Each structure stands twice: as C-alpha cells, then as structure tokens.
Structure 1
Amino acid sequence: MSIHTTATNPRVLLPPSSSVRSVFWRFPTFTLCSPANAPGSMLEYKHSPSSSPLVSTELRQYPTFLDARSEQGLSPSLITFCFRIWFNQLLLCLPSDMANWNNYLLCGIRKEMETGTLPEYVAQLMEELYLNYRNAVFQSGNPHAEHIVISNMSVALDRILLDVKKPFEFSPYHEAIREPFNYYTFVQNYIRPLINFRKSYVGNISLFHEMEERLKQGENVILISNHQTEADPVIISLLLENTCTHISETTIYVAGDRVVTDPLCKPFSMGRNLLCVYSKKHMNDVPELAEMKRRANTRSLKEMALLLRGGSKLIWIAASGGRDRPDPITNEWFPAPFDASAVDNMRRLVEHAGVPGHIYPLALLCHDIMPPPPQVEKEIGERRLISFQGAGLSVAPKTNFNEITASCEDPDKAKEVYAQALYDSVFRQYRVLKTAIHELQGLDASTPSVSLTQPWQLPK
C-alpha cells in the first residue's frame, strides 16, 4: 500500500482512494467487511496475519466497541447511530456520498442529546467543534480535506462521547494512553492538518538535538515557555516529530485543571504526558474548593520531584500560569509575563533532584490555530475557534541562575531577575518567529541568535 504526503501537511498518511467508503474502519463491530483501502483515514495501518484484508489495529481497540459481537453495553441511540451510518454507507458507494457524512455526524450528536446521553451544552460544543474543524481543514486546500475531516472527527466525537458516558480521571502524573486505543496517535493526526508547514519554522534546531543528548545521558531538561493554545503540546510534538523523536514523544507537560476536566479537551489530553495542577488563576473560582486544589498541587509537586530524581526527564511549563492573550487595545500578541515564584520553584526542584538539570527558554507562536477566549473564563466549556495557520517554535541556550543573578544580594530580587531574563529570551525569540510567520519574512527572519529552519523539508 502506498502512502501519500501533502506539501502543506507532511506525514499526513492517506491510503489510495477507493470508491467504497466504509465506516467499518471506525466501528469495528463490522470489521468483517472492512475494505482494504478506506480513504481518508490518518492512522498507520498494519497487516495482521490472522485477518484479511487490512484492518486498522488502532481502531479495533476502541473501548466503546470491545466485545462488539453483541450489543451489550452500548446505548440504544449509539447502536442506531452506528447502524444508520453503516447501512447508508453500504448503499452510497459513490464519490458524492461523502457529503452525507456532515448530516450523519451532526444527527448523531443531536440524537445523543435527545436521548439524554449528552448534556445540551456539550452537544452544542461538539457540533461547533465539528463545523469549525471542517472549515479549518478546508482552508488548507488539501485535496483530501473531506476525507481527513470525516476520519478525524468521527474518532474525536466518539472519544468525547465515550468520556461523557464513562469519565476518565487523571492522576497527578498522567502518562499518554497508547493502548488499547492510541490517544497519542489520534491527537497527532487530528492537529497535523491544522498546521501550515510551509509557513512554520523551528528556531535553533541544534539546541533540541543538544537536549536529546543530555536526556540520553540521564540528565533532566526543563523548558520555561510561553503558552498560547490548548494544542501547544501537540504542535510542539508535530514541529519536532521528524528530527527530534525523543522530545516529540516523551515531553511531560505541566497542565492546568481545565484541560483535564473540559469534556471536549479530555480525550486530547489523554494522549499527552501530563503533570496535572490547578492554575493560580482559577484557584479561588470556587472558594470552598481552594484548599482541595492546594493539596492536589502539593501531590503533583511531589510527583514531579520523584520524576526528576529518576533523571532523563523533559518537562515543559508555562511560566505565566496560563495562555497568552492579545492586548485589548492594540490586539497585538506577545508572551504573558512570567510568574517568578513558578520559575523559582522549578529551578529549586531541578537543583535538588540529585542529577544534573538544565533550564532552557522556549518560545511558541501558534495562537491563530486555536486562540483562547479574549479573557480568562471561570466556566468550563469554552468555544473552540480553529484555523489553518503557520506555527513557530524556538529555543535559546540553557540558562545559569548563578551567572544571571551574581549581582543580586536579595534572594527575592534574584528570583525576579532570573525570571525576567528567561522572559526576555522568550520575547526575543517570539519576535523572530512573528517576523517569519506574520510578516512573511520566512527563513530570512533568522538572526545571529535564532537560526530558523524547516526540519520537515527534505534537502534539495
């Protein structure tokens, strides 16, 4: 089976087209009739010697459809939804049948809401997510856009529905779930079509290679970063997946409670390595829960300390405590100021781990892909605006606390000076990325301190 890639989205995995468009790939109840070339699926297929034709080993692991020889455990509405899609797809084996998928998926969401499986607000958010994702992927001009949307959104909606029915509880340290369903691959495939790789750049790729070498030697690496979207961890992973596989797959992200409680966000979070904390910005949203949140943060810090003592850990943290937001007057985007206490806590954890550790300032520009609400919201369930855009990632050389704060006699002043030095580095890198992406300077935006490349491009 040949695999095709697109210029705007490298590593989009698409089997050859076929006139038979079956949902058996998504609902393994019916894998008996699975075609060999279901178009638009973005998962990697593996041949199983015990079954023919090819069947996606990823999708046969759906917890929702385990023991699928019977209907036990499935809601009547879900059975109806699956069967309706299956039956109509058998009848509509013409290229034009893909247009009917919009109605199938939207009707499925509404049916689950009507039967009480989905709360109304979740159903509305799912419908909006589908429509916004579809529009964003079509912006890319990818000739396979329709197949990509149907394939990815079928899986996404199924995962969201499954979690609403059987909510997943995150532990203080959560490792990406790769089986029986591979959430890591699912998230990679979902976000990849939203990145315009032609207008995306990585700064100082050699430093990422340096980090990987340090990790292989048992040392720890901390990335002090700005934060722009819920998809930041995946975007970082995708920009590095061709050249820095270890960083792409093993980075641990310090995550706020919203990404592990929002029903639309949870399935995507399940595919990342996370240290779960409660953000200071939301600590007192519900006063009676503040003490519980503080205790939970203490447990997460202990987990982090244990991880660092083991060595070879790469941890990313948003030093501002939340996502960047545009200036309300100028609408300009820049990294939000860093919290000096958060930076200092990370530094002390690294120093007391008992193994060498290094802190690098990381800049990320990707807000157009999935911008946050203009203001911090207390309620869970924000709207997801989505767009096909370029993204940028850059890292600067590791920092040395003692060198930066040598002239500071006051410990509190030293904390502020160190955090500001990290922020200034991120800010400078961000300006270079902004010039490259938004001012359309591309690789010419490189400076002596930030060398831009597109590591996914093959050498000419």
Structure 2
Amino acid sequence: MIFSISSSPSLFISPTTARFSISTPLVVPSTSRISSAAAASSSGLRRFRCPCIVFCASKVRDIEEMLDSKKGAAAMVASSSGHEISPSRTFLDARSEQDLLMVIQKETEAGRLPIHIAQGMEELYQNYRNAVFQSGQPQAKEIVLSNMAVALDRIFMDARDPFEFSPYHEAIREPFDYYKFGQNYIRPLTDFRSSYVGNISLFSEMEKKLQQGENIILISNHQSEADPAIIALLLESTNPHLAEKLIYVAGDRVVTDPFCKPFSMGRNLLCVYSKKHMNDDPELVDMKKRANTKSLKEMAILLRGGSKIIWIAPSGGRDRPDPVTKEWHPAPFDASSVDNMRRLTEHAGIPGNIYPLAILCYDIMPPPAQVEKEIGEKRVISFHGAGLSVAPNISYHEIAAAFEEPEEVKVAYSQSLYSSVNEQYNVLKSAVHGKQGLKASTATVSLSQPWL
C-alpha cells in the first residue's frame, strides 16, 4: 500500500489508523456480543502505578487538550453531501466505559449502526484501553474515556454520512480539529522514554528551505497507518509547523475504512488507489487509473506552487518481518517510483530537495502478516517507543555523473536513498529495541530526545 508512479499512473501508500485486534489480555473479557460487552463494568478496570513516564509536554496539558477535543467534537462538521450534521451527544456525554459500550449497543439495536461497525468499535475501545493501561499512567482511565468518546463519535458520524475525500485533501482543522484529535489519540500510546529522533537539525533546515519557496520530498519506509501521527508527534516539540504542512500520499484503504477515515481527515493527503490492489476488481481498474491520473495532476500543481513537503514511501507496501528470522527491515524501494517522483519534482520548475527518512514504530500498530484485499484488516495496538530520522539531501545529478546509462542512474539513485534509510533504521532499531538509547548514535546519525 505504498507510493508508486508508473507509466500508467499507479500510486500507493496508506498512512493513518485502522482497525485493531487484541494484543494483550483484556482487563474486561471481550465478546463478539455487543450486549455482553455493554454489561462490563468500568469498576473492574485494573489500576497501575505511574513509572514516571516522560511526555513531550506536561501531562496536565495533554489532559486539557483531550478535554478540549471532546468539547470541540460538539461542533457542527461539514459532511460529504455538502450539509452540516451534528455529532451524537450520546458518546460525548459518556462518563464511564459502561456508558460507551451501552451507546454502541443502543445505536445498533436502533438500526443506526451496522453490526460490523459496532463490533469494530467495541474491539477498538478494548484494544486502545489496554494499550494505554500498559503505559502505567495514573490518568489512563480518564485519557481512554476522553479519547475514545471522541473517536467513537467520529466513527459513528461517518457511518451515518460517509465523508468523501477529494484527490487532494487538506487537513480539516475547524470547526473540529481532526489533526489535534489524531495527535491526542496517538500520544498516550508512545513511550517517550524510549523514543528518539535522528539528525533533528535537518528538520529545521527543511523549514528554512520551505520558507524560501523550495519543495521537500521525503523518501521513506512505511510501517503502519500510525506513521503520520508518529512523525508529527516526534516533531511536536521542535518543528510542529513542519509536521502540520506535511502532505502524505494515501492509499484508498485509509480513506474508505470507517475506522481510518476520522484520522485521515486530519492529514493533508494526495489520495490514490493502491497499485497492489489495482486489479482486485477488474471492472474498476479503468476508474482507478483515471483517479490516479487526477492525483498526479494535483501533485504537479502543488509542486509548481513551491513550499511543499511531501512524504512518499516507494516500497510497494508496508514493512513486514522476515518470515524466517522475524526481523523487521525497510521494504525495498521501487526504482521507477523513485525516479518518477524525482522527475515530477524537477519538472516543477522550483528547487527541490529529496531527503531519505526512516521511521520505526511498528510495535504501536503493526500491519497484518500478509497483504489483505478486504477493507477492515485487524491490527494489534500497544504502548511502545518509536524512532524517526532523516539524512541530508541526496543529489541525483551527483550520482548520475558516475554512470552512462539512464537506467543505471535510476537504479543507483534509488539504491542510494534506500541504503540511507536502512542505515538510519538500524540506528533507531539499536536505540529502541536494542535499548542502547542515545549511545546508538553514529557519525552520520545523531540521536536526541528533544522533548526532554
């Protein structure tokens, strides 16, 4: 589900959140029967001690932001059909886990909520709750209730009146701030004590180039739908405006899955149909290609305007562990995808800069073991550290000087970017999974924890 451009335009990637499955023992036993789940009492929730978790902002501010989002959810929001609809007060008025689960049951029984959506809501609540509880935060119960009340409300709203994404979607920040909603949701899932950023000064360099009117292209690996939120979260204390300006190339799955859409609505997206799923339905192939052509045109227009930063993962899919060793590595890049993006950038007539970016966050929301055709794939969710790193701009023309054939240059340039991403990823892996922390830094990747 990753970005690619070919002669018959096929783009693909899928950032943002999706459905989840249970990754840890439930505090309250799960069941597929909504009525049974609704009867579970919040009084049975286990309490944990706080192990002095460090956040990029104070816990007090985080709680206030979450409460602000809950209040803001009561605002009217524009629907895809052009009118404004009011969110359900039932979710937002919930004061306990039992209240939330009872609302799901009532809306299902009333015929306003499809059974598969209702079951997914219950599963999502249980998994998010358990993941936040892993953090040991003393406010975990309040955080879960506040965030999930808003999340379930937004999912319910879309079930009633589905939002339709345009080829280029700009993040919806008002009257309801979907970006802030997504950041509040992912923050308590991230262990900042074991999270790191590599070469933080380069992100400030990018901001200066954007201010000068130049374009920035981030060639990256792709780990999960949580990638955009993790990137923004790890840049929150140093480069928040850069994170908010980022445009992600997004596959159709994250703009059609009702459990992804509320999170996708808070990101700037170039919406495309995934190359891997292009032929799932032969009757839709032509329509998908036409839609991707429109998205290519939108991208070209954006780049010609300058001061754009676009995130692309040209690997053809999310990173997945080796079936034998179980080790995670960035999936190989498609040289044609990299070259087509490079040509689009050069043809814009605006100075462009291509940076290799590495992200490590699969533990928080890992993808399924196999590529799935059906929308609504299940995922685990947990509390874990993450990593983000960027390396200096890699010049295509410097690499081209060493080769004679265009095809050789194309492959060499893609490999150069991929090698850099791998190098950075291995440093992040040593820091997070190898528990080396800042000591994992190398001569080319300097790690920091700017939120401390």
TM-score by length of 2: 0.84
Q: 2:75 aligns with which of 61, 64, 67?
A: 61
The reply to whether residue 43 of structure 1 matches residue 43 of structure 2 is no
**Cα displacement string for residues 11-57 of structure 1 (whole angstroms, at most 9, x for unaligned residues):** 26537xxxxxxxxxxxxxxxxxxxxxxx9553375xxxxxxxxx976
Q: CA RMSD in A?
A: 2.2
Q: Give the equivalent residue in structure 2 for 1:338.
A: 333
- Say if 1:243 and 1:261 are closer, same or farther in 2 by CA, change over 3 A: same
**Cα displacement string for residues 203-244 of structure 1 (whole angstroms, at most 9, x for unaligned residues):** 001111111110010000000000001010010001001101
Q: 1:284 aligns with which of 279, 285, 293?
A: 279
- Say if 1:422 and 1:73 are closer, same or farther in 2 by CA, change over 3 A: closer
The reply to whether residue 201 of structure 1 matches residue 247 of structure 2 is no
Q: 2:267 aligns with which of 267, 272, 285?
A: 272
- Say if 1:12 and 1:108 are closer, same or farther in 2 by CA, change over 3 A: farther
Q: Give the equivalent residue in structure 1 for 2:17.
A: none
Tell me the secondary structure at the aligned position of residue 9 of structure 1.
coil
The reply to whether residue 395 of structure 1 matches residue 409 of structure 2 is no
Tell me the secondary structure at the aligned position of residue 249 of structure 2.
strand
**Cα displacement string for residues 176-217 of structure 1 (whole angstroms, at most 9, x for unaligned residues):** 001111101111101111110110000001111111110010
Q: Give the equivalent residue in structure 2 for 1:95.
A: none
Partners in 1 of 2:284 and 2:231 — Cα distance? 33
Alpha-carbon contact 1:8-1:140 (below 8 Å) kept: no
Alpha-carbon contact 2:54-2:192 (below 8 Å) kept: yes
Q: CA deviation at 1:146?
A: 0.4
Listed as ranges, the gaps of 5+ residues in structure 1 are 1-5, 16-38, 46-54, 66-71, 90-100
Alpha-carbon contact 2:219-2:313 (below 8 Å) kept: yes
**Cα displacement string for residues 343-398 of structure 1 (whole angstroms, at most 9, x for unaligned residues):** 11110011011110000000000000000111110000011311010000000110
Tell me the secondary structure at the aligned position of residue 350 of structure 1.
helix
Q: Which moved more, 1:185-194 or 1:410-419?
A: 410-419
Q: Give the equivalent residue in structure 2 for 1:413.
A: 408
Listed as ranges, the gaps of 5+ residues in structure 2 are 1-51
Alpha-carbon contact 2:319-2:329 (below 8 Å) kept: yes
Count of paired positions? 397
Q: CA deviation at 1:63?
A: 3.5
Partners in 1 of 2:78 and 2:351 — Cα distance? 44
Partners in 1 of 2:378 and 2:413 — Cα distance? 36
The AA in structure 1 aligned to 2:386 is A
The AA in structure 2 aligned to 1:363 is A
The AA in structure 2 aligned to 1:372 is P
Partners in 2 of 1:358 and 1:308 — Cα distance? 12
The reply to whether residue 155 of structure 1 matches residue 123 of structure 2 is no
Q: Give the equivalent residue in structure 2 for 1:221.
A: 216
Q: CA deviation at 1:110?
A: 2.3
The reply to whether residue 250 of structure 1 matches residue 245 of structure 2 is yes
The reply to whether residue 351 of structure 1 matches residue 346 of structure 2 is yes
Q: CA deviation at 1:287?
A: 1.3
Tell me the secondary structure at the aligned position of residue 355 of structure 2.
strand
Partners in 2 of 1:277 and 1:308 — Cα distance? 17
- Say if 1:73 and 1:408 are closer, same or farther in 2 by CA, change over 3 A: closer
Q: Give the equivalent residue in structure 2 for 1:128.
A: 123
- Say if 1:354 and 1:327 are closer, same or farther in 2 by CA, change over 3 A: same
Q: Give the equivalent residue in structure 2 for 1:10.
A: 56
- Say if 1:270 and 1:64 are closer, same or farther in 2 by CA, change over 3 A: closer
Q: Give the equivalent residue in structure 1 for 2:426.
A: 431
Partners in 1 of 2:283 and 2:58 — Cα distance? 47
The AA in structure 2 aligned to 1:296 is A
The reply to whether residue 449 of structure 1 matches residue 444 of structure 2 is yes
Q: Give the equivalent residue in structure 2 for 1:325.
A: 320
The AA in structure 1 aligned to 2:246 is T
The AA in structure 1 aligned to 2:239 is C
Alpha-carbon contact 2:67-2:146 (below 8 Å) kept: no
- Say if 1:268 and 1:424 are closer, same or farther in 2 by CA, change over 3 A: same
Q: 1:361 aligns with which of 332, 356, 364?
A: 356
**Cα displacement string for residues 115-148 of structure 1 (whole angstroms, at most 9, x for unaligned residues):** 2222222211111111000000010011100000
- Say if 1:181 and 1:200 are closer, same or farther in 2 by CA, change over 3 A: same
- Say if 1:215 and 1:373 are closer, same or farther in 2 by CA, change over 3 A: same
Tell me the secondary structure at the aligned position of residue 276 of structure 1.
strand
- Say if 1:12 and 1:248 are closer, same or farther in 2 by CA, change over 3 A: farther
Alpha-carbon contact 2:335-2:411 (below 8 Å) kept: yes
Alpha-carbon contact 2:91-2:153 (below 8 Å) kept: no
Higher relative contact order (CA 8 A, sep 6+): 2
- Say if 1:275 and 1:74 are closer, same or farther in 2 by CA, change over 3 A: closer
Q: Give the equivalent residue in structure 2 for 1:385.
A: 380
The structure with the larger Rg is: 1
The AA in structure 2 aligned to 1:42 is E
Partners in 1 of 2:294 and 2:59 — Cα distance? 40
Q: Give the equivalent residue in structure 2 for 1:192.
A: 187
Partners in 1 of 2:167 and 2:176 — Cα distance? 21
**Cα displacement string for residues 71-96 of structure 1 (whole angstroms, at most 9, x for unaligned residues):** x9779xx67x469x56xx5xxxxxxx
Tell me the secondary structure at the aligned position of residue 443 of structure 2.
coil
Alpha-carbon contact 2:198-2:390 (below 8 Å) kept: yes
Partners in 1 of 2:227 and 2:314 — Cα distance? 14
Partners in 1 of 2:77 and 2:222 — Cα distance? 32
- Say if 1:239 and 1:73 are closer, same or farther in 2 by CA, change over 3 A: closer
Alpha-carbon contact 2:430-2:437 (below 8 Å) kept: yes
TM-score by length of 1: 0.82
Alpha-carbon contact 2:53-2:193 (below 8 Å) kept: yes
Q: Give the equivalent residue in structure 2 for 1:107.
A: 102
Tell me the secondary structure at the aligned position of residue 322 of structure 1.
coil
Q: Give the equivalent residue in structure 1 for 2:13.
A: none
The percent of aligned pairs where both chains have the same amino acid is 65
The AA in structure 2 aligned to 1:43 is M
- Say if 1:181 and 1:439 are closer, same or farther in 2 by CA, change over 3 A: same
Alpha-carbon contact 2:199-2:446 (below 8 Å) kept: yes
Q: CA deviation at 1:431?
A: 0.3
The AA in structure 1 aligned to 2:248 is Y
